[in-house]
């Protein structure tokens, strides 16, 4: 019995360094991919508009989006532009994919890239459904 305990003890002493070795380079790379995948999923959730806003928009035949302030989330959210941009044609927050609108410093803007231009106008207290194209 004592020899079994001694053998188990010696195994633990010599196996401990092997069991506590740091992850290999390949394991670290896999961890990076896993973390990026989890970040992408979380970012998609963060960019989703509130479910109540989505319901109201759908009921009116519209679509709701969420913009994040560029100064707060650029380089925090991995998506290019930090969720501050949106392309209505491409339906993406990724900057550089034909972004139509930007939220920065509490202001919405258009025409912010190169020779692009656009206009925003305050329509006042008007029902969105009453606005014609």
Q: How far apart are CA 97 and CA 91, in angstroms?
A: 9
Same domain, 69 and 129: yes
- Which residues have C-beta within 8 Å of that of residue 79, sequence separation ≥ 6? 43, 47, 93, 94, 95
pLDDT (tens digit, 9 = 90+) per residue, 2-47? 566 666 555 666 665 556 688 899 999 999 999 999 999 999 999 9
Same domain, 133 and 72: yes
Same domain, 131 and 70: yes
How far, in Å, are 7, 55, 58, 88 from residue 40 at the CA level?
Answer: 48, 24, 26, 21
- Residue 94 structural domain: 65-133
Considering all CA atoms of the chain, what is the largest pairwise distance in Å, rounded to the nearest integer? 90
Phi/psi at 113 (nearest 5 deg)?
-120, 110
pTM over 0.85: no
Q: How far apart are CA 35 and CA 42, in angstroms?
A: 10
């Amino acid at each position: 019995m004592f020899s079994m305990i001694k053998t188990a003890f010696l195994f633990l002493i010599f196996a401990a360094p092997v069991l506590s070795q740091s992850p290999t380079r390949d394991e670290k790379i896999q961890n990076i991919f896993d973390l990026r995948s989890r970040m992408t999923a979380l970012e998609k959730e963060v960019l989703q508009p509130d479910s109540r806003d989505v319901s109201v928009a759908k009921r009116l035949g519209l679509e709701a989006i969420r913009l994040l302030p560029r100064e707060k989330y650029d380089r925090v959210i991995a998506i290019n532009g930090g969720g501050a941009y949106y392309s209505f044609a491409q339906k993406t927050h990724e900057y550089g994919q034909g972004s139509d609108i930007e939220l920065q410093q509490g202001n919405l803007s258009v025409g912010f890239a190169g020779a692009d231009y656009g206009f925003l106008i305050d329509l006042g207290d008007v029902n969105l459904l009453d606005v014609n194209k």
